[in-house]
Amino acid sequence: MHPDDTTRVIRYRAIADDLRRRIAEGELAGGALLPSESELSARYESSRVTVRRALEALRQDGLIDSRQGFGWYVAADPLRQSLGRLGTIEGQLAAAGIRSERRILAFGFVAPPARVAEVLGGGSVLEVRRVNMADGQPFALVTVWCPEALGAHLSRADVERASFLEQLPVELGGATQTIGAALADRDTAAALDIVEGAPVLVAERVTRDAAGEPVLVSRHVFPAHRTEFAVELAAADDALAPTGLRLVE
């Protein structure tokens, strides 16, 4: 083997071993994005070819993976959310044994965006924007809008502590949720620690009270590589679609 080839082999193994150590010690948590190949090249003072070889070795070991639009990330099972019932993100994470945390980015009473005004009416609304963390990693960027009459008693500390679903002074009757795909804009990418243009799943939820009146509109944005949704499909010979699903024309 040519001496230069021997050096490259030693170098890529050293890079792989260092990344493997950082993953094992929790410095790079499951689902976390790795620095770009060019950033890793600079960090390890090696060519991108050498860095790519180290990354491929770790992928073969099942430690990392890559996806178009994301780059390389630490391998982890997607966090599954059931669509069978109305509940909180924290509740579903806790059921999976995952530590959750809320970080409030914005809190205030504002004029509603057009879509929110269409659902809740044109009066002032409480708008709360937050990031939900799962085991220390950004899991969802959530914006919630609530009529001022229902949210006037809530403080920033209240919405950081618990869900609107647990604090509204009304009996809840259910919700309608739609899910689509999009690409992360700059602000979303920064909040979720993903690259701009990365694929995300976007869920809009309209929550109603027991009388059927809308009381909340929320928008949930999830990194596509960390999230999957599940729904139980009951057998029904005379149904075109399972309960809770509808065809969008």
pLDDT in tens, the chain (249 residues): 444 555 556 788 899 999 999 888 878 877 778 888 889 999 998 898 999 999 999 888 888 888 776 788 888 777 777 777 777 777 777 777 778 899 999 999 999 999 999 999 889 999 999 999 888 888 899 999 999 999 999 999 999 998 898 899 999 999 999 999 999 999 999 999 888 888 899 999 999 999 999 999 999 999 888 888 887 777 765 544 444 444 333
Structure tokens at 35: 């620095």
Distances (CA, A) of 117 to 128, 179, 183, 213, 215: 16, 20, 25, 14, 12
Tokens in use for 228? Answer: 């999957």
Counts for the chain of helices (H) and strands (E), in that order: 8, 10
Instruction: Report d(CA 71, CA 76) in Å as an integer.
Output: 15
Cα–Cα distance, 199 to 224 (Å, whole number): 6
pLDDT of residue 185: 94
Every domain of the chain with CATH number 3.40.1410.10 lies at: 79-230
CATH topology of domain 3-74: Arc Repressor Mutant, subunit A (1.10.10)
pLDDT of residue 97: 78
**CATH fold of 79-230, please?**
Chorismate lyase (3.40.1410)
Cβ pair 223, 200 in contact under 8 A: yes
Specify the domain boundaries for CATH 1.10.10.10 within the chain.
3-74
User: Rounded distance, CA 198 to CA 41, Å?
Assistant: 22
Return all residues near 92 (Cβ < 8 A) that are at least 6 apart.
81, 82
CA–CA gap between residue 239 and residue 152 (Å, rounded):
43
pLDDT for 129: 97
